[in-house]
């Protein structure tokens, strides 16, 4: 019989490490409302389900509408600046993460 085991966190922004999510375990971050699983094909990794990070589920990245960038989100997350309407995506090159405007825009005066 195969069992599914759960690991829980209530700390916003916490992403489980590879060793925290053995095969067959689902990690839940209740503060962020996110699910994580262990990817076993190719290079093993922990991926967020439904985040657009390759973990399955909805392939669309999530988006936050706010006056300032959200914290504790993963690369690929989108943020729409509620003051300007500009949409950014979070890119992470492995050394640092930065918000990058998705597309150039023209301003009509």
Q: pLDDT per residue over 28-81, tens digit each?
A: 888 877 888 887 776 777 777 764 443 444 444 577 888 888 887 888 888 888
Average model confidence (pLDDT) across the chain? 75
pTM over the 0.85 mark: no
**pLDDT greater at residue 104 or residue 24:** 24
- The pLDDT score that the predictor gives to residue 2 is 58
CB atoms within 10 A of CB 77: 22
Q: How far apart are the first and last CA of the chain?
A: 66
Contact 39, 47 (CB under 8 A): yes
* pLDDT of amino acid 1: 47
pLDDT at 88 over 50: yes
């Amino acid at each position: 019989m195969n069992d599914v085991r759960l690991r829980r966190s209530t700390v916003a922004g916490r992403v489980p490490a590879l060793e925290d999510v053995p095969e067959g375990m689902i990690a839940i971050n209740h503060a962020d409302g996110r699910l994580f699983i262990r990817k076993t094909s190719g290079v093993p990794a922990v991926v967020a389900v439904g985040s657009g990070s390759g973990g399955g589920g909805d392939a669309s990245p999530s988006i936050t509408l706010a006056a300032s960038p959200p914290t504790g989100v993963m690369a690929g997350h989108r943020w729409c600046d509620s003051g300007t309407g500009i949409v950014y995506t979070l890119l992470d090159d492995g050394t640092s993460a930065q918000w990058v405007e998705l597309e150039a825009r023209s301003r009509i005066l």
